[in-house]
Amino acid sequence: MGFLSGLEHCVREGEPLSAHTWFRFGGLAQYWAEPTSLEDLTAIVKRSHDEGAAVRLLGGGSNVVVRDAGVRGVVVHLSAPVFSQISVQGRRLKVGGGAKLSHVVSMCASRGLAGMEQLVGIPGVVGGALHGNAGSHVADIGQWTVGATVMTRTGEIVVRDAADLQFSHRDSSLNELVILDAEFEFEQDDPQALTQKMQQTWIVAKAKQPTIGQYAGCIFKDPGGVSASSLIEDAGLKGERIGEVAICERNANFMVAEPGAQCDDLLSLIDLVRSRVSEQLGVDLEPQIEIW
Ligand SMILES: Cc1cc2nc3c(=O)[nH]c(=O)nc-3n(C[C@H](O)[C@H](O)[C@H](O)COP(=O)(O)OP(=O)(O)OC[C@H]3O[C@@H](n4cnc5c(N)ncnc54)[C@H](O)[C@@H]3O)c2cc1C
């Protein structure tokens, strides 16, 4: 186990990342860490830093694609309950970075905390959502964020307040190594009305996503407020495929992978879409999905 010796209870070698990402392909993580406490996490981060080993965070794996060669260094996954705590105080909610976004969305609706119901249907965890400022066409998570606690690459814990945070379309200034927790503030509304709105939004969102069970990812940012899916359709690319990866019929900004798909197929399809949309419509599409 080398520089991570003594942490065998929460670190293993050669973990297939296909088991932890939505596309279900890609190679191995050299080390896979699921720290059981803040002390474990700090030790992993500090030792990796001292050793010069790369460290990455993986949340729900819905916005990450792993190359077939896998990744060197440590991939950290905050699955332990200590990283998923949720506490409510009046209009404020404090949530661990490992908490599922879907839990937070439904808890907010049932407590009468308005806004988050608009994010129903977005997979992943709170840390992943904050890192990329996840959202819908009408709202994103950054707009309710009033603070966050992060861990830097050297293992230092830093508290960042609202004045210190910036959010833009699918991007945030929360780019430290680990988002440990975040605090949100909401307006109050009727829980029943919010729950109903959440259910209606969920039905609409699901109709625009790949079907349940498909291995998929949302690929591009919407450039300048125009939807990437409409640009891809306008370029005549709906249904296009390379190998076992295809552009989704329901929403052209998703790509879906069939069993046996390889990361290279996806990367080639991304290149094809970017070059066709640029040639035909003069728009440069920027990937939202991260490629490891
Ligand atoms: C079916 C489907 C529907 C989707 N719909 C939407 C949508 O409507 N709107 C939208 O915005 N996105 C959407 N996405 C994209 C994706 O779900 C979001 O970007 C989501 O917020 C990613 O969260 P995650 O936990 O899966 O992050 P991951 O994919 O695990 O990671 C994404 C990034 O966040 C970082 N990260 C994860 N956890 C932490 C942490 N604790 N601390 C620091 N960094 C961290 C990772 O290192 C990585 O850089 C969709 C994806 C799919 C597959």
Whether residue 127 has its Cβ less than 6 Å from ligand 1: yes
The catalytic position among 91, 170, 274, 276 is 170
pLDDT score recorded for residue 211:
82
pLDDT in tens, 43-93: 999 999 999 999 999 999 999 999 999 999 999 999 999 999 999 999 999
What tokens were used for 61? 């794996």
In the chain, CATH 3.90.78.10 sits at 210-291
Percent of the chain exceeding pLDDT 70 equals 100
Q: Please state whether beta strands 55-57 and 71-76 pair in parallel, antiparallel, or not at all (unpaired).
A: parallel
- DSSP category for residue 177: S
CATH architecture of 210-291: Alpha-Beta Complex (3.90)
| Pick among 3.90.79.10, 3.30.43.10, 3.50.50.60, 3.60.15.10: CATH of 2-76 | 3.30.43.10
246 strand-pairing partners: 241, 256
For residues 172-199, give the mean pLDDT.
97
Phi-psi region of 10 (alpha: psi -120 to 50; beta: other; left: phi over 0): alpha
Whether residue 79 has its Cβ less than 6 Å from ligand 1: no
pTM to 2 decimals? 0.96
Ligand 1 centroid–CA 21 distance in Å is 10
- DSSP category for residue 173: S
Residue of the CA atom closest to atom 7 of ligand 1: 122
pLDDT in tens, 109-160: 999 999 999 999 999 999 999 999 999 988 999 999 999 999 999 999 999 9
Ligand 1 centroid–CA 290 distance in Å is 9
For the structural domain made of 84-193, what CATH number should be given?
3.30.465.10
How far is the C-alpha of 164 from the C-alpha of 176, rounded, in Å? 13
Q: Can you spell out the DSSP letters for 87-121? A: EEETTEEEEETTSBHHHHHHHHHHHTEESGGGGTT
Residue of the CA atom closest to atom 47 of ligand 1: 57
How far is the C-alpha of 55 from the C-alpha of 45, rounded, in Å? 7
Known catalytic membership, residue 170: yes
Whether residue 179 has its Cβ less than 6 Å from ligand 1: yes
Inter-CA distances, 179 with 123, 281, 288, Å: 17, 38, 19
Ligand 1 centroid–CA 134 distance in Å is 7
Ligand 1 centroid–CA 169 distance in Å is 13
Pocket-testing residue among 63, 140, 151, 229, ligand 1, by greatest number of atoms within 8 A of Cβ: 63
If pLDDT is split at 50, 70 and 90, which confidence band does 259 have? confident
Whether residue 129 has its Cβ less than 6 Å from ligand 1: yes
Contact 245, 209 (CB under 8 A): no
